[in-house]
Amino acid sequence: MSSVLDSSLFVSDSKRFMELSHSVIQFNSLYNGSNIIQDDIFSVLANYARQNQKVLDLFRFPTRDDDFCALTCVQKERLFVYINSWLPLCDQIFAAAHELYHIWCFIEEKDESILRKGSFLNAAAMDEEAKSKEDKEANAFAGLFLVPANALYEQMQIYGIPREHQSLEDIIRLMAIFSVPYKAILLRLYEEKYMNVSSVRKFLAIEKNVLKKEIGYMPDADRWQKRTPEILQMGSLKQLMENNIEFELLTDSRAKSDKELFQQIMQRYANVRG
């Protein structure tokens, strides 16, 4: 069986998967409603923290490293989340949902590990083979949250996608609808019993260049594969810096040096775009 399945929570711990599935349904009803989330995940992250009286700073800027996806840490009860905007947008969305699980565990006091050591997400844990219990659960949470069972069923009905024997075009259509990576949608179809092991293996065996070519034929799907190095989001850093200047909380020389440093940082990451 493919490592994508072997390393999934659905296969390794079905009882925990079902528990998490019920938790995600409740979470979705409170913080998202019936919307298909797509890139609203970044707003959901901030809203969830705000609704629970936590301060969350979201950073998105490009790091030219496909293995470096995201990280979360906590300092003095303030949450800092970084998502690598160099990645394809669908990977950023999944990474953000993965980190949302760790934040949910922290806020609900289910797991304090993020308080002690933070969370670091690389491509292997997100896309290939999650080894730790926490990453398996976070991946399951992300899939369940971004591709809810009821919405998956509804969209398959709307687009005439069969409950079994789906085509590659069907898979790509679902990727476009939910804005998730290829392997994530395959796993959700398997979890909801719309696809068997042999079918998953068949689709996983498709060469990357073939998949990329087929995705390119469908603009709605291709747009979620684009990298977004133009996104430079620095949390509340600029606002805090401007507040310091407005309320004269720093000396003129310090305020000037802070402003120059901020501009240097923005220019550095702007150069990554090319």
Looking at the fold, whether 18 and 120 belong to one and the same domain comes out as yes
SS3 1: coil
Q: Is the distance from CB of 17 to CB of 138 less than 8 angstroms?
A: no
pLDDT tens column, 134-187? 899 999 999 999 999 999 999 999 999 999 999 999 999 999 999 999 999 999
Looking at the fold, whether 161 and 260 belong to one and the same domain comes out as no
Query: For tokens 């790091």, what's the residue?
Result: 63
Show the domain range for 262. 237-273
Cα(155)–Cα(139) distance, rounded to whole angstroms? 22
Query: Which pTM does this prediction carry?
Result: 0.90
Q: Is residue 232 part of a domain?
A: no
Query: For tokens 């399945």, what's the residue?
Result: 5
- State the pLDDT at residue 1: 41
Q: Is residue 125 part of a domain?
A: yes
The letter for the amino acid at 99 is E
More confident residue, 108 or 235: 108
Q: Is residue 191 part of a domain?
A: yes
CA 172 from centre of chain: 18
pLDDT tens column, 195-218? 999 999 999 999 999 999 999 999
pLDDT tens column, 66-113? 999 999 999 888 899 999 999 999 999 999 999 999 999 999 877 677
The domain total for the chain is 2
Looking at the fold, whether 178 and 132 belong to one and the same domain comes out as yes
Looking at the fold, whether 173 and 255 belong to one and the same domain comes out as no
Q: Is residue 231 part of a domain?
A: no
- State the pLDDT at residue 217: 96
Q: Is residue 97 part of a domain?
A: yes
Looking at the fold, whether 249 and 171 belong to one and the same domain comes out as no
pLDDT tens column, 21-58? 999 999 999 998 888 999 999 999 999 999 999 999 99
DSSP string, 106-119: HHTTS--HHHHH-E
Q: Is the distance from CB of 209 to CB of 123 less than 8 angstroms?
A: no
Looking at the fold, whether 79 and 181 belong to one and the same domain comes out as yes
Looking at the fold, whether 124 and 246 belong to one and the same domain comes out as no
Looking at the fold, whether 96 and 40 belong to one and the same domain comes out as yes
Looking at the fold, whether 21 and 111 belong to one and the same domain comes out as yes
Looking at the fold, whether 247 and 214 belong to one and the same domain comes out as no
Looking at the fold, whether 120 and 69 belong to one and the same domain comes out as yes
Looking at the fold, whether 71 and 197 belong to one and the same domain comes out as yes
